[in-house]
A and B are shown apart, each in its own frame.
Chain A
Amino acid sequence: EIVLTQSPATLSLSPGERATLSCRASQGVGSALVWYQHKAGQAPRLLIDGASDRATGVPARFSGSGSGTDFTLTISSLEPDDFAVYYCQHRSSWPYTFGQGTKLEIK
C-alpha cells in the first residue's frame, strides 16, 4: 500500500498570503495524484487531478505540481473561503489511499 504523508498537519495563515501544502508518496505514483478541499458537513471538492490539472470551476489561485513521490498544492493568495482541510489522494494502484490531511486555518 502506498502511504501518502502530508505536511504540515496544520497551516496557520492570513487571507492574502500564499499557502504551500506538501504531499509525499512512499513510492512513485507518476502523475496519478488528486487534491481535494474538504469542509465539515460537506462532500470533498475536487481541486486538482493528474497532479496539476485544475478541475472545472476551480479558481486559478489553486495550482498543483510534482510527479513521482513529491507533490505540492499552492494557493497563491488565500481567500476567506479557502480555509478548510486539504487531502491528497493517489490513484496509481489499488488500494487508493489518502494523505492524513492538512488543516488550513486562519491566523
Chain B
Amino acid sequence: EVQLVESGGGLVQIGGSLRLSCSASGITFSNYVMHWVRQAPGKGLEYVSAISTNGGSTLYTDSVKGRFTVSRDNSQNTLYLQLSSLRPEDTAVYYCVRPYLYWGQGTLVTVSS
C-alpha cells in the first residue's frame, strides 16, 4: 500500500520558517518526480513546487520563488519543503503528491502575527 505522510506543519509568525517533510512508503521513491500542492482555507488547489527524481531539477510557482526550497533524500524516502519568509497568504494545507495518483493527507501551515 502506498502511503505519503506529511509532517512539520504548525503555527508560525510572519517572516518565520518551517520545514515540511513527506515520508513515502510502498513505492520506489527514487523513481518518481514529486510535487507539493497547497490549499488555502476556503480556496482552491495551487501547485507549489516540483522536484526531479535525483533532486537536480526543481520548479516553483512564482509566489514562492526565493522563499521555498524543495529537496529530497532518496535514501530515506523523504521529500522536504523548506518554507522561509512566510506570509499570511502562505497559510494552507500542504500536500505531498506522487503525481498524480497518490496524495498525502496534508499538513496545515498557519502564518499569523
Contacts and interface: CB of A to CB of B under 8 A. Distances in A.
Interface string B6-30: 0000000000000000000000000
A44 B45 CA distance: 9
Nearest 5 pairs of A and B residues by beta carbon? A43-B103, A98-B45, A96-B47, A94-B59, A46-B101
A29 to B, nearest CB: 14
B101 A55 contact: yes
A91 B33 CA distance: 13
Contact of B44 (A95, A96, A99): A99
Nearest to A42: B105
A interface, over-half SS: loop
Nearest to B48: A95
Nearest to A100: B44
Contact of A43 (B50, B59, B105): B105
Given A43-B95, A94-B59, A95-B59, A101 B103 contact: no
Contact of A38 (B45, B47, B62): B45
Interface size class of B (residues with CB under 8 A): 10 to 19
A94 B62 CA distance: 10
B73 interface: no
Contacts of A87: 44-45
Interface of A: 34, 36, 38, 42-44, 46, 49, 55-56, 87, 89, 91, 94-101
Contact of A94 (B50, B100, B101, B104): B50
B62 A95 contact: yes
Contacts of A91: 99-100
A44 B95 CA distance: 9
A91 B47 CA distance: 11
Contacts of A42: 105
B54 interface: no
> A43, A94, A97, A100 — which one has the most chain B CB atoms within 10 A of its CB?
A43
